[in-house]
Structure 1
Amino acid sequence: MPLLTLDAVSLAFGMQPLLDQATLTVEQGERICLLGRNGEGKSTLLRIVSGEIQPDGGTVRLDDGAILSVLPQNLPVDDPRTAYEVVASAFPETGKLLAEFHKLTQSADEQSLNRMMKVQERLEALDGWRLDQKVSDILAQYSINPDQTLNTLSGGWQRRVLLAKALVTEPSILLLDEPTNHLDVPAIAWLEEALSQFRGAILFVSHDRAFIRRMATRIVELDRGHLVSFAATYDRYLDLKEKALEDEERQNALFDKRLKQEEAWIRQGVKARRTRNMGRVRALKAMREERRQRRERGGTASFAVEDAARSGKLVVEAREAGFAYDPAKPLITSMNMTVIRGDKIGLVGENGTGKTTLVRLMLGDLAPTEGQIRLGTNLQVAYFDQLRGALDLDRNALDNLAEGREFIEINGQSKHVLGYLQEFLFSPERARSPVRVFSGGERARLLLAKLFSKPANVLVLDEPTNDLDVETLELLEARLVEFAGTVIVISHDREFLDNVVTDTVFLDGSGKVREFVGGYSDWRRQGGRFPAEASERSSRSSKTPAPAAPPASKPRTPKLSYKLKLELEELPAKIETLETRLERLQGKVGDPEFYSGAAEVVSETLEEMSETQRQLDSLMERWMELEEQANQ
């Protein structure tokens, strides 16, 4: 019995339906990634599943006894509640009483004591103390301080509290909408680990390809109102999707050719004034209607970057530079860096380590409080703001971009503003709609259109991948690689960094700024670690007895011991075994008949695949660690 069933669900806000007889089933233990272009209606579909929106037609059925929880896409702006209050609010009446009881325990006056007795009586009637224990347990499990207010937490910790709230009810199905947006890499890694331990079903929307590869056991694509399921991993889905599009294009071409022949036949029959085969005429009418009903797949974005005159060879040079808002807590210290024209720099670090401050220093918006920063000549900077602050939500896309112009010039060619916006997949009707009604992806595309309409030889992109669909993301990567100028990117999208940047700059939070050649994966291979990982490793090692220190007279040797050498030699075979097992399991899950089997077998197979992936990641991490020691 499926946990969730969507049967012939339809919904339309305009001329074209967002959902057209959409059908989907979700089984226990599945982790389904919902993919689709920006504006296709993915978030709307999640809101239909959660009951927030009612469809125009069709049914949405939850299995009897199934519990559904939602991890919201947007983080709260200024929530003064404590972490305990937020998690307890998952149980509406009981949560309010528990939060009130905890506050009353901090008061000693008679009025508070009388109220506390009444609250306690009601909690006992609602079995509130059992729920209180569940809230306390999950807060402890996720290492959350129950008294910390939400508005004082970083985005990653806020997401952790909200996930605790979603899971404290022990749901059967968890809905996630772009869960990695605005999270740093350690927070994303923590989220992946927490979700991999969840035994219920997950339906999530994401464009983070590394996250999808790690989490998804099945891909469901929302394409022109229909849901198409691919019982495959993400990489296999890409191959199957490409083949499906080729088949569709070939079938449409054959249909159009036949329709053209039938149209020629009917016209010839009229000219010759001879009796026509009425069955063939009726078939032609049916073909015309079928062609009229066909929804063409939208075009692909085809934007280009407007190049400015070349900057000087030197873009930025920093010598022993530093910056501090508070002298006692410097954000950046003793930074030495040289950026040359054509460099593509990726800034990596946990939230709050000073990445945006570093960019402002590099652009001259801030003056260093120590050392020197020298800027190159003829710099023309275009800035992509992650908060989309450059967009006026009350104006339409046309006015946001044109700023009174009817034509804009791109690389020496004059283009009409509407035509230029169509390159970013905005129809004339959509271009005249207010930005306030745009999806997150549409706002990101509009900001890119505005950014690339101005000449620049330095592009600064702050979290450009948030909300962009995969097709637009891949095109953006290609354009940035082709761009002859300098690119500075702040991003937590690991695959985007690997595909674009030539140098990774890491901010560790202590003020140190270190530069590594290559992308994110190259940084990891060179021993790059986040402070959270280092502290976690040290806490694990502190639980085991520390080895005796070597005598002071003997120099420390970096060579591996015999035991570690033996472990290093055995690791490749173990890794190969796990990879073979994982490949076998992925092939089994990718079989279209897999989910029609017994629910217990499906759940056990998915759990085995998740555990195998976890073991493989652990062995790969250990192998990299020992290789690094062996090469010292």
Structure 2
Amino acid sequence: MNLVTLENVLLQWGPHPLLDHVQLQIEAGERVCLLGRNGEGKSTLLKLLTDELKPDDGVVRVREGVRIGRLPQNLPADDTRNAYTVVASAFPETGELLARFEALSHSLDAGDSEQMRQLARIQERIETLEGWSLDQRIRQTLERYDIDPEVRLCDLSGGWQRRVLLAQAMVAQPDLLLLDEPTNHLDVPAIAWLEKELLSFGGAVLFVSHDRAFIRAMATRIVELDRGVLKSWPGNYERYLELKEKALEEEERHNAEFDRKLAQEEAWIRQGIKARRTRNMGRVRALQALREERKQRRERTGRAAFGVEDARKSGKLVVEAVNAEFGFDPAKPIIRDLNLTLIRGDKIGLIGENGTGKTTLVRLLLGDLQPTNGTIRLGTQRDVAYFDQLRAELDPEKTALDNLSEGREFIEVNGHRKHVLGYLGDFLFTPERARTPTRVLSGGERARLLLAKLFSNPANILVLDEPTNDLDVETLELLEEQLVAFSGTVILISHDREFLDNVVTSTLFLDGTGVVREYVGGYVDWRRQGGRFPREEVREPRVESSPPAAKPAVLPVERKAAPKAGKLSYKLKLELESLPAEIEALETEMERRRVEVNDPDFYQQDHETVNQRLAELTDLEQRLETLMARWMELEEMS
């Protein structure tokens, strides 16, 4: 049974559509992961399903009676409501009455007759709406999620705020639950708890996440948003990776062949005077159609291409702790009996529940805090770069360019001098996006900007506090590669289990009592060596390795029926054979233009000239897209 359906939905902001006449169906009981690069429009798609946005064209259908709950990506700022009020807000009128009744009951003055009358009126209205059954459901949900009804949302950590918001989404017993980056700000036990809750949830789930371990545990189907198109990949995450790799290889093969044939057709039309007098006008019109079609095609965004700037080598000893202890209250040490030696090149991961002292431990290791007992000896020649999970290093009112440059026009990275705009291009910022105020950038873009700033200065010690939040999978994988290849020392705080496994050589576990235990390897190795969180159940949530038997629910994009294979007309065969030469010529010209743009001196020209050259390069890229699209169409028809 289909719960929601998107039919030929178009949504366009800027030059390219975010959703280009897409089709989508979500069936009851499915757990669908929505993947895509940062800025592709995943959160926007979720807003369409909750009617927060309207499509420019097409229809969003929600089956009659279907209830939708949503966990947003961003946490509320300075929300002073208590947990009961937040959860009760899932029922607009009844929830508000229950919250008012709750507040009045706590502040009631028995001698105040007006308050008594007001309370009686609210109680009467609640009874009319049969609201007491909802009150019971709210309290049961809060108890199930171990949430104090009176605690204010603003007084909770990010992980606990997410728990309250999930209770708000679940209390209405939704048929479809929408989750936008649900693991952000959660520690590992909270993620395990969330997995267990969702695996036991009877409704359908559509979630956006880049946490690969979470996706593997949850998803029964993958839907990818790529260049405005939705494509469904049946099966689990491993199956998606396998099919996606084959699809990209096939796309590259088709594109290369199409480019060559398109280039040949362009070479033909540029022949001499005699050839132009006798050329086939039908072939000319076909080439014009090819150019227009190629112009409409969208290439995949390039992969980020950043590297870590190595500083001078630190001393062989980075830090040594002997019976070190720290605490603001001597009777309750946050860190105690710490014995640890870090050597140059070590890559350590810190795991533990929120509030167990991970940040305090890092500050001790960096020398920002002095131990209250014991000793901590710091090594020599330490150059530290710090990645802050709260993005406090970024000024939201400055542009991305100004946040990075700090008055510099060029950046020296590993001996190479690069213009700031060219350097930001390595982090997938176009010149226009680089001049955008940081406050309007997406979470993933801000994370990439902070990485750009972090890696623009030489360092031999990298400290990264939750660097994976909001980053797409491709950027995550590149960051992993760079950290593994980095010759210095890495101290990593992360709740991304797969990221830890791929980067760190040892794990420090903080159990909440102040004790720090060291284990060889990453998260999986820690588990294998008996690692457990204090409040964790003995059995972890079951991870499903195969999807249910339900058929994939995504409808294909409607297209005109193509001619059957082997029925290509003579004219189209000629057209197909003539395209590669033009593609080749365009590629040659584009490569020449890219070399020009990548030259550090390119941006020394006046603003008008720079913009004109960039526009010309964009036009070439669009022409190539048109030719490629036509070649692919003809190739599929042949």
Q: Does 1:131 align with 2:134?
A: yes
Q: TM-score, normalised by structure 1?
A: 0.84
* Correspondences of 1:216-227 after superposition (within 5 Å): 216-227=219-230
Q: Distance in 1 between matches of 2:296 and 2:418?
A: 32
1:439 alignment counterpart: 442
User: Gapped runs of 5+ residues in structure 2?
Assistant: 557-638
Higher mean C-alpha deviation, range 417-426 or range 340-349: 417-426
Q: Distance in 2 between matches of 1:448 and 1:403?
A: 15
* Correspondences of 1:85-104 after superposition (within 5 Å): 85-104=85-104
Q: Distance in 2 between matches of 1:272 and 1:472?
A: 50
Tell me which of 169, 176, 199 is aligned to 2:179: 176
* Correspondences of 1:599-614 after superposition (within 5 Å): none
1:516 alignment counterpart: 519
**8 A contact 1:324–1:369 mirrored in 2:** yes
Higher mean C-alpha deviation, range 154-163 or range 453-462: 154-163
Deviation of 1:461 after TM superposition, in Å, equals 0.2
2:350 alignment counterpart: 347
Secondary structure at 2:365 match in 1 = helix
1:549 alignment counterpart: none
Tell me which of 310, 313, 323 is aligned to 1:310: 313
Q: Distance in 2 between matches of 1:293 and 1:99?
A: 53
Q: Distance in 2 between matches of 1:448 and 1:194?
A: 33
In structure 2, give the amino acid aligned to 1:488.
I
* Correspondences of 1:64-463 after superposition (within 5 Å): 64-106=64-106, 107=108, 108-109=110-111, 110-268=113-271, 270-463=273-466
Higher relative contact order (CA 8 A, sep 6+): 2
Secondary structure at 1:374 match in 2 = strand
1:40 alignment counterpart: 40
Higher mean C-alpha deviation, range 182-191 or range 6-15: 6-15
State the number of aligned residues.
552
Residues 335-387 of structure 1 show CA distances to partners (whole Å, capped at 9, x for unaligned) of 11000000001001100111011111111111111111110000000000000
Q: Distance in 1 between matches of 2:120 and 2:265?
A: 84
Secondary structure at 1:310 match in 2 = coil
In structure 1, give the amino acid aligned to 2:56.
D
**8 A contact 1:588–1:594 mirrored in 2:** no
In structure 1, give the amino acid aligned to 2:208.
V
Q: Distance in 2 between matches of 1:60 and 1:592?
A: 19
Residues 81-135 of structure 1 show CA distances to partners (whole Å, capped at 9, x for unaligned) of 2221111111111111112222333323333322221111111111111211221
Q: Distance in 1 between matches of 2:117 and 2:303?
A: 67
- CA distance 1:305–1:271, shift in 2 (3 Å): farther
- CA distance 1:500–1:40, shift in 2 (3 Å): same
After TM superposition, the runs of 4+ consecutive aligned structure 1 residues lying more than 6 A away are 593-596
Q: Distance in 2 between matches of 1:279 and 1:238?
A: 43
Q: Does 1:485 align with 2:491?
A: no
Q: Distance in 2 between matches of 1:595 and 1:23?
A: 5
Residues 189-244 of structure 1 show CA distances to partners (whole Å, capped at 9, x for unaligned) of 11111111111111111000000001111101110011111012111101111111
Secondary structure at 2:354 match in 1 = coil
* Correspondences of 1:469-480 after superposition (within 5 Å): 469-480=472-483
Q: Distance in 2 between matches of 1:100 and 1:588?
A: 47
Q: Distance in 2 between matches of 1:478 and 1:446?
A: 18
Secondary structure at 2:146 match in 1 = coil
**8 A contact 2:316–2:344 mirrored in 1:** yes
Secondary structure at 1:211 match in 2 = helix
1:557 alignment counterpart: none
Secondary structure at 1:350 match in 2 = coil
Residues 452-489 of structure 1 show CA distances to partners (whole Å, capped at 9, x for unaligned) of 11000000000000000000000100100000000000
**8 A contact 1:354–1:509 mirrored in 2:** yes
Residues 242-290 of structure 1 show CA distances to partners (whole Å, capped at 9, x for unaligned) of 1111111111122222211222222237433543322222211111111
1:60 alignment counterpart: 60
Q: Distance in 1 between matches of 2:47 and 2:160?
A: 24
**8 A contact 1:9–1:19 mirrored in 2:** yes
Q: Distance in 2 between matches of 1:125 and 1:33?
A: 41
Secondary structure at 1:531 match in 2 = coil
Q: Distance in 1 between matches of 2:327 and 2:431?
A: 48
In structure 2, give the amino acid aligned to 1:515.
E
2:586 alignment counterpart: none
Q: Distance in 1 between matches of 2:185 and 2:293?
A: 44
**8 A contact 1:380–1:458 mirrored in 2:** yes
Q: Distance in 1 between matches of 2:274 and 2:301?
A: 38
**8 A contact 2:25–2:553 mirrored in 1:** no
**8 A contact 1:269–1:275 mirrored in 2:** no
Q: Distance in 2 between matches of 1:61 and 1:586?
A: 25
Q: Distance in 2 between matches of 1:399 and 1:384?
A: 18
2:8 alignment counterpart: 8
In structure 1, give the amino acid aligned to 2:4.
L
In structure 2, give the amino acid aligned to 1:236.
R
- CA distance 1:594–1:40, shift in 2 (3 Å): closer
User: Gapped runs of 5+ residues in structure 1?
Assistant: 539-577, 597-632
Higher mean C-alpha deviation, range 122-131 or range 266-275: 266-275
Higher mean C-alpha deviation, range 172-181 or range 266-275: 266-275
Q: TM-score, normalised by structure 2?
A: 0.84
RMSD, matched Cα: 2.0
Deviation of 1:532 after TM superposition, in Å, equals 1.2
Instruction: Name the % identity.
Output: 68
Secondary structure at 1:492 match in 2 = coil
Deviation of 1:588 after TM superposition, in Å, equals 4.7
Q: Distance in 1 between matches of 2:161 and 2:201?
A: 19
- CA distance 1:588–1:129, shift in 2 (3 Å): closer
1:541 alignment counterpart: none
Secondary structure at 2:341 match in 1 = strand
Q: Distance in 1 between matches of 2:371 and 2:136?
A: 50
1:574 alignment counterpart: none
2:576 alignment counterpart: none
Residues 475-516 of structure 1 show CA distances to partners (whole Å, capped at 9, x for unaligned) of 100100000000000000000000000010011111111111
**8 A contact 1:465–1:473 mirrored in 2:** yes
In structure 2, give the amino acid aligned to 1:192.
E
Deviation of 1:593 after TM superposition, in Å, equals 8.3
Q: Distance in 2 between matches of 1:146 and 1:420?
A: 49
Q: Distance in 2 between matches of 1:200 and 1:408?
A: 51
**8 A contact 1:316–1:374 mirrored in 2:** yes
Q: Does 1:28 align with 2:31?
A: no
**8 A contact 2:269–2:276 mirrored in 1:** no
